[in-house]
Structure 1
Amino acid sequence: MILTLTPNPAVDITWHVDHLTPGGTHRVPPAVARAGGKGLNVARVLHASGVPVIALTTAGGATGDQFRTELAAAGVPCELVATASATRLSAAIVDAGSGETVVLNEVGAAMTAEEAAELVATALRLGRAAGVVAISGSLRDGFGPDELASLVASLAGVTRVVVDTSGPGMLAAARAGAHVLKPNREELAAATGLADPLAGAHALLELGAGLIVVSLGTEGLMVVPRDGAPVRARLPRVLHGNPTGAGDAAVAAIAAALSAGDDLFSDTAAAHRARLELARRATAWSAAAVLMPQAGELSPEHTRLAGEVELTTIDGDPR
């Protein structure tokens, strides 16, 4: 079983427009609202793929009621910690003409010490029985880098821990011994101060992380182990759509590989092959997510897309 943890969830609202004109007025179809947040997107992908998963997050206020109702309708197994503050909103505007998406994310309200303690206690209870724990998304006051690091350190000795967050939280998770970190290029550069993704990945490994998977947007992704050769993966063409769930689909692929028992960490030929396969699947799942109107979904095209993925070992040996 995989546990996903979303410390700062949202009700995601998505509008689709034919062409977005800054300053203009647009008539749009009814918005689609759903329970969102990066960890929820990971859980949706895993659930739809037949991988056992439980989603842990918070909910509060009127938006929290909407969040609970939609999540129950989705059928994703979950546990929710109640908060006094309302669940935040996130809005995405998808421009069909340009293929670009504008996203507006509210900042999540602070958690009380009691709420944060309940979230941590529930994560420890569920996480110790899970094969993998994936912690995804932004943090919030009351559950910040220190709380994240303490939770990662407590879980890392009993299960595999994947973290997808940014800024000081990413560095704290690396120092706490997260098995896998999944930053994108911009997050990695901002956290480490290094523009080169390979150098930034090695900086996180030096802090204590076990494996780094860097999303590179239309250039695919990079898998960088502590031991062994890094791997690059990319599609030979650019897909247009909604990219907001692409990174979450990659985290789902990572968690699925770890749950299946794949060795992604050793400096062996078998582990290198496992990292190549992870790079292929994560790239294909990310691309398949872009093709879908909502985050947390995979296009049926993901199997065909996997066959298109180009893999290269960083030492220059094409695979």
Structure 2
Amino acid sequence: MILTVTPNPALDLTWRVDRLIEGGTHRADAGAARAGGKGLNVARVAHAEGADVLAITTTGGRVGQEFAAELGASGVPHALVPVVAETRRSIAVVDESLGDTTIINERGSNPTDPEWAALLAEVVERLPGTRVLVVSGSVPPGAPDSLLPMLIAVGRDAGVPVIVDTSGPALLRAADAGATVLKPNAAELVEATGITDPVAGARSLIARGTELVLLSLGAEGMLAVTASALVHARLDEPLAGNPTGAGDAGVAACAVLYAEGVRDPEQILRRATAWSAAAVLTPLAGDISPRWTELEQQLFLSYPDPASFRKDPS
């Protein structure tokens, strides 16, 4: 089973407009509301592709009620930990003419220490039979610095690989705690490490204790970086669509392969890049297009010189 943990869930609201004009008034058809947050998106994709999953997250307030109802209707197996704080919302506005998406994320509210303890206890209870633990997404402002290290520690103590997708100082804490796989994007990596060279930045995380870094490069594809290997995957042309959830689909691919016992960076990179690209072709985060098999065959894989990713200081 793949166990996903979402520390800062959100009710994802998506509207599509003909053209987004700053300061303008827009009309749109009814938007879509979906229980989201990065870990839930991972669980949705993995579940849709036939994997055994369980998504653990918190829920609270009136927004949390709508969140729980939608998640229940989705069919994705889940366990919800009740909290007093209102579940946050995430708003995506898709510009149909340009293919761009503007996102506004509420920061979220921090659960109490007993509520965090209940979340951790739920994870520990579900670990028997778990083959991969995924901790994905931001943490609310004010969350204890020990939260991610504790989640990683309980996974490691159970002998379960831990995949983490987060940003900021939490990314460094996850590496220090020994997360098996980290999946930042290029901007998140620079923000966390202060290193502009993406390969050097990724290997600084490996030096802290992680085994594999899957680094999203947007339209330029994805890198798989280990202490000794560097693999680059990309399509010949970027795809137009909604990139929201593309990284989560890549994490889902990695989790599914890890659950199957696959550890080859090239194989993981190929599937993660294909699923990420397939997510761009769907309107909502948490879905991927069935074209992913076709996209996987179209990928260009290379083993570049690390220096090729360094920016020219001039």
Tell me whether the two structures share a fold, i.e. TM-score over 0.5.
Answer: yes
Q: Which residue of 2 aligns with 1:267?
A: none
Query: Is the 2:5–2:57 Cα contact (8 Å) retained in structure 1?
Result: yes
Cα distance in 2 for partners of 1:144, 1:188 equals 22
**Which residue number in structure 2 is paired with residue 218 of structure 1?**
219
Name the SS for the 2:245 alignment partner: helix
1:280 maps onto 2:270 in alignment: yes
Contact 1:6 1:40 in 2 (8 A): yes
Q: Distance in 1 between matches of 2:128 and 2:121?
A: 11
Distance 1:156 1:189 in 2: 27
Deviates more, 1:295-304 or 1:306-315: 306-315
- Secondary structure of the equivalent of 1:243? coil
1:138 maps to 138
1:83-129 per-position Cα deviation (integer Å, ceiling 9, x unaligned): 10110010000111111100000011111011000001111221343
Q: After TM superposition, give the deviation of residue 279 of structure 1 in Å.
A: 1.2
Q: Residue 188 of structure 1 aligns to which amino acid in structure 2? A: L
Distance 1:213 1:27 in 2: 39
Q: Which residue of 2 aligns with 1:208?
A: 209
Q: Superposed, which structure 2 residues align to 1:258-277 within 5 Å?
A: 258-263=258-263, 274-277=264-267
CA contact (8 A) 2:262 2:268 kept: no
Q: Percent identity?
A: 50
Offset at residue 145 of structure 1 (A):
3.1
Distance 1:125 1:314 in 2: 43
> Quick one: distance in 2 between partners of 1:308 and 1:185?
23
Q: Distance in 2 between matches of 1:303 and 1:220?
A: 16
Which residue of structure 2 lines up, in the alignment, with residue 116 of structure 1? 116
SS of aligned partner of 2:81? strand
> How far apart are residue 61 of structure 1 and its match?
0.5
How many residues are treated as equivalent by the alignment?
Answer: 305
Query: What is the TM-score normalised by the length of structure 2?
Result: 0.95
Tell whether 2:301 aligns with 1:300: no
> What is the TM-score of this pair, normalised by structure 1?
0.93
Alpha-carbon contact 1:144-1:169 (below 8 Å) kept: no
Aligned-pair distance for 1:314?
2.6
Task: Please provide the CA RMSD for this pair.
Answer: 1.1
Once structures 1 and 2 are overlaid, which stretch shifts more, 130-139 or 18-27?
Answer: 18-27
- Unmatched tracts of structure 1, length 5 or more: 264-273
Structure 2 residue ranges without an equivalent (≥5)? 307-314
- Note if 1:75 corresponds to 2:83: no
> What is residue 180 of structure 1 aligned with on the other side?
181
In structure 2, the partner of 1:271 is none
Q: Which moved more, 1:165-174 or 1:154-163?
A: 154-163
